[in-house]
Structure 1
Amino acid sequence: MPTESVTGSSRPVRQTCAAVLELLLPHRRATDTAVPADVDDFPEQLRQLAEFVEAGDRIVFTLPGFPCKSPSPAKVLGHLPDEGERLSLTFLEDLCRAVGEVYEPGARMEICSDGHVFGDLIRVPDPHIDAYSDELAALIRREGLTRLSVFDLRDVLGDLPYDEKRARVHDEYAPTVEELRAEVRRDEHTLALYRGITRFLTEDTVDFTGTRSALQRECRRRAYGVIQRSRAWGDLIAEHHPRTVRLSIHPQPRGAAKFGIRLLDATDAWTTPWHSTVLHRADGSWQLMRRADAEQQGTLVLRDGRPSHFEES
């Protein structure tokens, strides 16, 4: 990596990129946490950061996620963003602000909301996804989170019917099921992703009338579809945002093209605000958990007349 000075700073490029990456490391979402990670474990992220730092440009992070709320009432409070999203967005804003303290041009975060990409597979109605994404953007405005913005399928394909949008994205960008099956067999990380998505789909299916084994077979099939669409969305994002530091809400191994980011504390590395609710503990900390579990430990709190989170009893 080049070592010449950053424009307007005496700090070398390599040192600046390492300083930015050190801000991300405490929030890394991963399953290989037994051995502490350091900046040298992430050459791809250092390379991505260097493209901005060498030019003296503002860093752009892209984060696919914030799709919609889970359809399971045992997990979430409803179909609109709640305190979990508010806290997560505030965290991302604060992270971008912290980058500005070690790199003067600062950073911004493009949240690439992907609910419409696979809404049919996760069985969430498109109007619910629209309402979630619109409220997410409104929340960003209300909270004054000026370093965040939302990008979704409507920004790419406008007012086309959503089934047509999904078909276009799938046909142009998605890998084949056969390619994914082969990858699942040979790659431990892809296998973990496949199993994690299958588990979420199984937990989130609330109206299945068949046997448990039939549900699991259907969810395994749908999991491949979700991964196909997620890969397609990632390629589409790369096409529209060719120069970014790529983040992920899924656990990522060291050396991966994306850096896994943890938004809030949770006991499970796969838990996100849209698959859970949040419990405000008596010690002031916040923890993501299933609604059914939070109800056992706390009292429901409303914000602006809507269910928001639970306060520990």
Structure 2
Amino acid sequence: MKKMINALKSVSTPIKSSSSEVLRDKDPVIETSIKILAEVMSYRRSPEKVKPCRDSKCESCTSIYLPKIVYAVKNRRPVNFVLPAFPGKSPNLNKVVGVVPDFAEKISLSFLQSLCKRVKTIYSPGIQIIICSDGRVFSDVVGMQESHVTSYQAELDRLIDEMSLKDISTFNLDDIYKNLSFAQMRDELMKTYGKSSEILKHKIKSGARPGATLEEVEANRMYCGITRFLFEDSLFPGQRKSRAAIQREAKSKAYEVIRRSNAWSELIEELFPEAVRLSIHPQACGSKKLGIRLVGNESWMTPWHGVAMETPKGHILVKRSEAEELGARLIYDSLGRPSFYQLLDSDLPAFIESKL
């Protein structure tokens, strides 16, 4: 593994220029780099209660992202972005229709590829998005079956190939720790990159207090979001636990999911030091990661926690239960697998209108 890390590190080492130095330099490389960042930031996902800067010249943002973009542009290379995402379908069938990628993932992949295509009109080498599929990292904590994660990863790769998405690739834990069991893969990851759960808990709790640092606030926000997802995923048909018990379990599991995710992020940063780091989670101005939407018109839904629904005004992502409550018709793909829902009513409910 060390050889692989060293080989990847030798490919490129990002420049260390400060954002103020970068912004003072008005040469074409800088101008192009700012335009690339602006294009990506136009689909930025920010916390609801925090006003996003949405400005590619914001010094807090450029100090993190722009030097890496400048380095790639200066060397006429594609700009690499890493996106920990697409872990596998939620185990809750009230939210999804199966265990492999469906039309919801297709919409998201198409959106990401369209972003890459738009950047090429600015900078011909373009950008490359590396999806760092993280399902294997925490599957045992969130209740995803290993076979389902394997099937999801394989189908995701097949879709990328079938759709000819030349600027998108995948990377997962299986690519690093070969010839190990899945449990051993996770053990190796945490042994090398894992941090103390007590440190994490302190950071999360501090994030809810006045005077918290940006990192602490982000940790607390992520904890709340992960807890909500785990709680919802556990409300599957047939389960008999009380909502209070499920909530307690979700809070406990959220710490471990975040601890694993942080370790995965550390590994990714080490393997791809030249890449700009993206996140599906809302990120405040100046965060190490740039929050990004997975579908242009959605606010907070992922393909693996919902389904695609076709409406007269376009496709949106919703929970399966929401689509069925609206009377939407389930559409199957060419292989006979559930793919998406179709709602043809011209009068859409208010909560659906708000997503379009």
Query: Normalising by structure 2, what TM-score?
Result: 0.82
CA contact (8 A) 1:2 1:13 kept: no
Whole-angstrom distance in 2 between the partners of 1:208 and 1:77: 18
Distance, in Å, in 2 between the alignment partners of 1:84 and 1:272 is 8
Q: Look up the match of 1:213.
A: 244
**Mean Cα displacement is larger for which, 46-55 or 204-213?**
204-213
In the alignment, which of 24, 39, 58 is matched to residue 23 of structure 1? 39
Per the alignment, residue 105 of structure 1 pairs with 125
Matched, 1:295 2:324: yes
CA distance 1:256–1:183, change in 2 (3 Å)? same
Which residue of 1 is the match for residue 182 of structure 2? 162
1:39 to 40, 49, 56: 56
Question: 1:4 and 1:267 mapped to 2: Cα distance?
Answer: 35
Q: What corresponds to 1:188 in structure 2?
A: 217
Q: What is the CA distance between 1:34 and its match in structure 2?
A: 4.0
Provide Cα deviations, 1:55-103, integer angstroms capped at 9, x if missing partner: 2211111111000000000000110101110011111111112111111
Distance in 2 (CA, whole Å) between partners of 1:73 and 1:160 is 30
2:162 corresponds to which letter in structure 1?
R
Alignment: residue pair count: 307
Deviation string for 1:129-174 (max 9, x for gaps)? Answer: 0000000000011111111111111110013100010111112112
1:19 is displaced (CA, Å) by 0.4
User: Does structure 1 residue 61 correspond to structure 2 residue 120?
Assistant: no
Given the superposition, is the C-alpha separation of residues 122 and 61 from structure 1 closer, same or farther in structure 2, using an over 3 Å criterion?
A: same
Q: CA deviation at 1:4?
A: 10
Give me the whole-angstrom Cα distance separating, in 1, the residues matched to 2:230 and 2:283.
Answer: 20
Residues 236-286 of structure 1, C-alpha deviation per residue, up to 9 Å, x if partnerless?
A: 1112212101111111111111111101257653x2110011111112x22
Question: Which amino acid is the alignment partner of residue 306 of structure 2?
Answer: S
Partner of 1:202: 231
The answer for the alignment partner of 2:191 in structure 1 is 171
What one-letter code is carried by the residue in structure 2 that aligns with 1:57? Answer: R
The aligned amino acid for 1:114 is D
Q: Which residue of 1 aligns with 2:14?
A: none
Structure 1 counterpart SS, 2:121: helix
Which range moved further: 104-113 or 47-56? Answer: 47-56
SS of the residue aligned with 2:160?
A: helix
Structure 2: gaps (5+ residues): 1-20, 207-215, 345-356
Q: Which runs of 5+ in 1 are unaligned?
A: none
Aligned equivalents of 2:296 and 2:307: distance in 1? Answer: 12
Which moved further from structure 2: 27-36 or 160-169?
27-36
1:12 lines up with 2:28 in the alignment: yes
Distance 1:11 1:301 in 2: 52
Instruction: Quote the offset at 1:11 in angstroms.
Output: 5.7
Q: Percent identity?
A: 36
Which residue is 2:294 aligned to?
263
CA RMSD of aligned residues (A): 1.9
Give 1:54 shift.
Answer: 2.2
How far apart, in 2, do the equivalents of 1:245 and 1:148 lie? 14
1:93 corresponds in structure 2 to: 113
Work out whether residues 46 and 52 of structure 2, in 8 Å CA contact, stay in contact via their aligned partners in 1. no
Q: Deviations over 1:165-212 (max 9, x none)?
A: 011111211221111111112222211110110111111113654332
1:253 to 275, 284, 303: 284
Secondary structure, aligned partner of 2:265: helix
Cα 1:293–1:224 shift into 2, 3 Å: same
